[in-house]
């Protein structure tokens, strides 16, 4: 087999990319593959997003891998715990050696005559272009634009004397102590940010377009904990 030629190219080394590689290794043992990842580390969303309180908005019994049971008590988990879960899965299945980090995908071309894909990448370290060839391409890129997040322009925002931050580009060790904060939006990110910032900020206001309601519920799923007293992890996880 020629260099950089594989049976399968997996785009992205996040939760989906690592899971896809695990299933591929298990069910198609004779197939070769490579994972192309733009960033210098795996984890995707859970490695990129570092804003206060970052966590899942779905229970991990649903979001996790069916072959690796979620063993933490918290069903709605923090970003750091999820990242550890992904890295642990990759290490256990020796996925790491098949990842090409710092590989920014520029284009993908299909050749009808050879029935193969050619994926061209820009190496963020060497600044050179590298081409990969495969029969199949699986996209696990998610729906975020890691370089250019959606950020509406506000009229005369340049006159605003405060700071405008986007959670996707949260500054490391940013100190918001004593600040008056307005969080625009009421989705999962906003619901996570507001209570997490309330302990240090002077005041936090959520600005939303449509009225919503929030209910306080336990962060632990009681049913799995009860079932685990008599059943193995894999059995409970599949339920």
pLDDT digits (tens, 9 = 90+) for 132-159: 999 999 999 987 777 888 888 888 888 9
Mean of the per-residue pLDDT values for the chain?
89
| DSSP code at position 214 | -
In this predicted structure, what is the pLDDT of residue 228? Answer: 61
The residue count of the chain comes to 239
231: confidence class by pLDDT, cuts 50, 70, 90: low
- Dist. CA 18–CA 30, nearest whole Å: 18
Minimal CA–CA distance to 86: which of 125, 37, 148?
A: 37
SS3 content of the chain, % helix, strand, coil (to 5): 30, 25, 50
Distances in whole angstroms, Cα of residue 60 to Cα of each of 34, 85, 91, 151? 27, 10, 20, 29
Contacts of 237 (CB under 8 A, 6+ apart): 61, 64, 66, 69, 70
pLDDT digits (tens, 9 = 90+) for 174-215: 999 999 999 999 888 999 999 999 999 999 999 998 888 877
- Per DSSP, the three-state class of 189 is helix
Query: Does residue 5 contact residue 133 with C-beta atoms inside 8 Å?
Result: yes
Minimal CA–CA distance to 107: which of 41, 36, 47, 16?
A: 36
Token pair of 234 as six digits: 């894999």
pLDDT digits (tens, 9 = 90+) for 1-11: 468 999 999 99
- Dist. CA 147–CA 168, nearest whole Å: 9
Q: What is the set of domains in the chain, with CATH numbers?
A: 5-139 (3.50.50.60), 157-207 (no CATH)
pLDDT digits (tens, 9 = 90+) for 158-167: 899 999 999 9
- Dist. CA 112–CA 9, nearest whole Å: 17
Q: What is the mean pLDDT of residues 208-234?
A: 69
- Dist. CA 51–CA 169, nearest whole Å: 8
The model's pTM is 0.84
Asked whether the predicted pLDDT for residue 229 surpasses 90, the reply is no
64-78, 177-191, 220-234: range with lowest mean pLDDT = 220-234
- Per DSSP, the three-state class of 39 is coil
Residue in this structure with the two tokens 């069903």, named with its chain if needed: 75
Contacts of 138 (CB under 8 A, 6+ apart): 8, 9, 10, 11, 20
Q: Which residues pair with 180 in a beta bridge?
A: 203
Q: Which residues pair with 8 in a beta bridge?
A: 33, 136
50-54, 150-154, 229-233: range with lowest mean pLDDT = 229-233
């Amino acid at each position: 087999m020629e260099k950089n030629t594989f049976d399968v190219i997996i785009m992205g080394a996040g939760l989906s990319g690592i899971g896809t590689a695990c299933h591929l290794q298990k069910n198609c043992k004779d197939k070769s593959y490579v994972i192309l990842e733009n960033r210098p580390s795996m984890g995707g969303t859970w490695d990129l997003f570092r804003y206060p309180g970052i966590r899942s908005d779905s229970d991990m019994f649903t979001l996790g891998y069916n072959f690796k049971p979620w063993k933490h008590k918290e069903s709605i988990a923090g970003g750091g715990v999820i990242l550890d879960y992904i890295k642990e899965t990759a290490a256990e299945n020796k996925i790491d050696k098949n990842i090409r980090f710092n590989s920014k995908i520029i284009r993908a071309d299909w050749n009808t005559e050879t029935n193969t894909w050619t994926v061209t990448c820009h190496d963020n370290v060497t600044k050179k272009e590298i081409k990969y060839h495969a029969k199949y391409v699986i996209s696990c890129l998610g729906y975020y634009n890691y370089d250019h997040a959606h950020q509406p322009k506000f009229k005369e925002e340049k006159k605003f004397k405060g700071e405008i931050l986007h959670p996707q580009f949260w500054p490391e060790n940013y100190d918001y102590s004593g600040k008056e904060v307005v969080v625009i939006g009421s989705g999962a990110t906003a619901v996570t940010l507001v209570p997490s910032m309330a302990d240090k900020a002077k005041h936090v206001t959520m600005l939303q377009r449509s009225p919503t309601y929030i209910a306080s519920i336990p962060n632990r799923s009681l049913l799995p904990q009860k079932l685990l007293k008599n059943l193995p992890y894999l059995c409970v996880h599949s339920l």
